[in-house]
Structure 1
Amino acid sequence: MSFRRGIRGDDFRKALETLAQQDGWWKDVLADPTLIIGIRDEYLNVYWQGQSIFKVSFKGGKVTASTHEKYLLNPDLKDQVSLVEGKFAFGNAEQRMLTRDYEGAETLAKLKRAASPYSGQEKEGVHEIATSNLSVVDVEIAINASGVPGIKRNLPRMDLANFETTATGVDLVFWEAKTLSNPELENGDIVGQLGDYQKVIDLHKTEFDDSYRLVAKNLAEMAEWSNGHRNVAAAISAVAKGAKINVSSANVGLLVYDFTAAQRDRKDKDGKTLSDRVIESLAKVGVGPERIRFKGTTKGLTI
């Protein structure tokens, strides 16, 4: 049930810094701020719209990277392949079907295009929010809660975490993201979901503090290695330099997006909008309106 984040090993960090100065995939990743670098426990995930297109580790004294085979299918394929007597006649197409070599930023763009079909509206929305808010420190935050009393999900997975500067330090805030059409908003499951998050936060306060203090340092270092392509919010810089992190189960919130004005304003027989009903239901677990954001599009949605 432990929670751990951060690249602690000096050798790994130094190897990443050295690699950042060399032409290649890591330098290209750092130069592309539309990619999210998720700091894990002594490894990294590089995300595009919720899909990890690189897993980055340190093995045998070297930085290693891997990707799922499905992302190596060439997204530019367009020709027909004939079926002849029960066999597909690939011909010259066979050599074009896979991305076989990393050849610079063009290859990185191919991997992103190959990964996009595996995403969806909610994942795309989370990605847009994370890349447009420099205070975000993590995405896809899964915590093993197996055996914890009162928690319905064995692996609660929070969508986003960010830092907020306050008078008493920096708040660590966790967010769940939903499109308006998600049935969990209507059927009340969202209440249990955020309630589960609050329970695991209470269980792991010390680990969250330790982990995200190190994550802040890692992200600040990577911004320095990127030659100006990546930036971090002042709150992340402050934590990297030792500012206090406030970890509290009160700091959970909900982001709802992807709807029209007509959908937003639609009322039930009691004259209440979905926003009204969600605010009422989440009050049961102490989540106030200030932690509930409804916006038709993720563009400009700030946290």
Structure 2
Amino acid sequence: MSETTPYRALGEPFLAALEALATAPHGGWWADVLGDPELLLAVRDRSLNVYYRGASLFRITPAGGGVAAETHVKYLVRQRQVLTRLGQDGSFGSAPSQAVWDRYEGPATLAEMKRAAVPLAGLEKTGLHVLVQTSPNVVDVEIALAGAPVTDAAAEPDGSEIEAAQLASETTTTARLRQDRLDVASLEERGVAGEAWLVFHEAKLATNPALRSRTTPAIVEQMKRYRATLKQEAERLTASYPALCRDLVSLEALRRKARTDRGLDVSDLLQRDPLINDVASGRRILRIDTEPRLVVFGFDADQRDKSVQAITQDLSGTHGLRVYAVGRPVKGTPAFRRPSDLQSDAT
């Protein structure tokens, strides 16, 4: 793969297969996914992830001329309050099908998969899901990028990382390669008609211990890594995200058709920012902001005026981070738009 080959795109054959599946007799599960406004569709390299509160309920891939999907069994546990008897031989009296879904049986199955994901998500992922769901300019979530080499001191993972660092070299150097995972990517305009900016965000609850320390908070090193990774990957991101935006436009059309075919109100779906269409069509040139932003959320006015203000001032003033404190994650919270006091450099 060349450095400028798009690596976040579904491809026309896969998109065509997804479109056909939406109306196929065996595609009820996919039509349910498309019609559910609470689910996020994230474009990957020839695959698609379906997210709910940070949980990947489905990973969808091309299979021959069709589509294959997989999920983790933990999302198939039936959400029922049912007792079962323990026999003298140590066996439980209930059949496996009473404990887990062994086949997809329509919207009820999808609803229980979502319910199974809730206790596994945690407050941070739950809040982030709300913020993303009300942000029409968001184009990607859970963005895994090949990390730039870092020293051992900076490579220690903090608790927020999802994937472990990978050893990169058999030489005597202490450098490592990691896979960094940023929470959100969004588009914004900055006064130039023919441009759009791709911005990456890391979101943290205000109570996250990575935000505070008597020396250097862990988030500072984390954002330093992300900055290096974005600079390293900027060319590939520029090549890839217009294709991703085109896929989002196509998926949005599928979602609207799925709801219309079922007599459901399409206004329940998030109306995408016109910037996405502009980047998809080439009307705007995409530029990459290599300075990641830190979004701090999950606090009230009293906490903002006390502890949160001290945290954000330390992170921005002492450590030079671009911090945006947004309060509670509710509908309309502008978490991923450009604050007027933030200035960023481009690549």
TM over 0.5: yes
Match of 1:162 in 2: 186
Match of 2:285 in 1: 244
Q: What is the Cα deviation at residue 60 of structure 1?
A: 1.6
Q: Structure 1: which 5+ runs fail to align?
A: none
Give the distance between the partners of 2:318 and 2:242, measured in 1 at CA: 33
Give the distance between the partners of 1:267 and 1:211, measured in 2 at CA: 40
- The 1:299–1:86 alpha-carbon spacing in structure 2 relative to 1, beyond 3 Å, is farther
* Bigger shift: residues 170-179 or 11-20: 11-20
Give the distance between the partners of 2:186 and 2:210, measured in 1 at CA: 23
Q: What is the Cα deviation at residue 141 of structure 1?
A: 1.0
**Alignment pair present for 1:90 and 2:96:** no
Higher share in strand = 1
Match of 2:303 in 1: 263
Q: What code does the residue aligned with 2:287 have?
A: N
Q: What is the Cα deviation at residue 149 of structure 1?
A: 6.0
Mapping of residues 112-123 of structure 1, within 5 Å: 112-123=114-125
1:67 to 64, 68, 71: 71
Match of 2:332 in 1: 300
Q: What code does the residue aligned with 1:145 have?
A: G
Mapping of residues 103-114 of structure 1, within 5 Å: 103-114=105-116
Q: What is the Cα deviation at residue 134 of structure 1?
A: 1.3
Q: What code does the residue aligned with 1:69 have?
A: V
Match of 1:193 in 2: 222
- The 1:51–1:72 alpha-carbon spacing in structure 2 relative to 1, beyond 3 Å, is same
SS in 2 for 1:175: strand
Q: What is the Cα deviation at residue 293 of structure 1?
A: 2.5
Q: Deviations over 1:194-238 (max 9, x none)?
A: 121111111111110111111100000011112244542111111
Give the distance between the partners of 2:91 and 2:298, measured in 1 at CA: 41
- The 1:280–1:117 alpha-carbon spacing in structure 2 relative to 1, beyond 3 Å, is same
**Is contact 2:53-2:128 (8 Å) kept?**
yes
Give the distance between the partners of 1:56 and 1:234, measured in 2 at CA: 27
**Alignment pair present for 1:178 and 2:204:** yes
> Pairwise CA RMSD of aligned residues?
2.3
Q: Deviations over 1:31-71 (max 9, x none)?
A: 11210111111001100111100010001211111111111
Give the distance between the partners of 1:100 and 1:82, measured in 2 at CA: 21
**Is contact 1:279-1:292 (8 Å) kept?**
no
Give the distance between the partners of 1:74 and 1:88, measured in 2 at CA: 19
Q: Structure 2: which 5+ runs fail to align?
A: 158-177, 258-265, 337-347
**Is contact 2:128-2:329 (8 Å) kept?**
no
Give the distance between the partners of 2:239 and 2:101, measured in 1 at CA: 39
Identity over aligned pairs, percent: 32
Give the distance between the partners of 2:297 and 2:44, measured in 1 at CA: 27
* Count of aligned pairs: 291
Match of 1:130 in 2: 132
**Is contact 2:28-2:106 (8 Å) kept?**
yes
Give the distance between the partners of 2:100 and 2:248, measured in 1 at CA: 32
Q: What code does the residue aligned with 1:19 have?
A: L
Match of 1:205 in 2: 234
* Bigger shift: residues 12-21 or 222-231: 222-231
TM-score (normalised: structure 1): 0.88
Q: What is the Cα deviation at residue 300 of structure 1?
A: 2.5
Give the distance between the partners of 1:183 and 1:156, measured in 2 at CA: 19
